Amino acid sequence: MAEKNNSLEKALTVLDLFQLHRRITLTFAAQETGFSPAAVSRIMNSLENTGYVYRDRTDGGFYLADKVYLLGRSTNLKRQLINVIDEPISKLCRRTGFSVTVSIREKTHSVTALRKDPKRGLFLTANVSDSISLNCSAGGKILTAFATEPDKLIDEINYVAFTRKTITDKEEFRQHIAVVRAEKVAFDMEEITEGLVCTAVPVLSRDGTAICSISVSGFKDRMIRELYGTIAKMRDTAKECGQLITGD
């Protein structure tokens, strides 16, 4: 019979709590597992030191870290993004003068994790209106193109339209995504709102899949006029964000 590793089993028992709870406290973990507070504290410290969880210094809770995200795609990524890439996103907003949005994928939808506006600053979004079908936005196209199985994802999307320019044909979208993947940039040319144009680039993990998308949006005339210079700044920011998230 194989020898048990009690320390490992205890750590995995604590990690299992994150399947149902995004935020774990030391007291809660001790109550749920039956381990002593001292044992839970040691486990959490070890998990934090090895990069599997992080402690939010504001609320005192523990959350799954990007290391677990890269392994299993199950993390409180919104909070991670707020904590880790606030500064480069703020800098991009200042450099371009446009609104900057960071989005993550939840099944077949692009979900706004955070947005930086030149006038209002940084804010976290958490309502249903900030979830949109992947076919409608530049960020959604990026998240589709750099998914683990983009073709399978394309088949699962519910193709809704916001304007007459929204791509709603599955095969047309599939061809479009192939171009997005090759060029590593996507565009929303008035596909959500008439008069508004958006461009997006990926923040990539080590395996080449998208951790999130970074998009910049503005009124059509100015966006088109400043498009190529803006894309260069976005790519620089995406590279910086990727390094901050993955620790490279």
> Distance between CA 230 and CA 96 in Å, rounded?
7
pLDDT tens, position by position, 207-231: 889 999 999 999 999 999 999 999 9
- pTM (2 decimals)? 0.69
pLDDT over 70 percentage in the chain: 86
Pairing of strands 131-133, 121-124: unpaired
Confirm if 219 and 202 have CB atoms less than 8 A apart: no
pLDDT tens, position by position, 38-83: 999 999 999 988 888 888 877 788 887 766 655 544 445 666 666 7
CA distances from 227 to 56, 87, 193 (A): 37, 22, 18
pLDDT < 70 regions, the chain: 1-5, 66-82, 120-129, 247-248
- The distance of Cα 43 from the centroid of its chain, to the nearest Å, equals 27
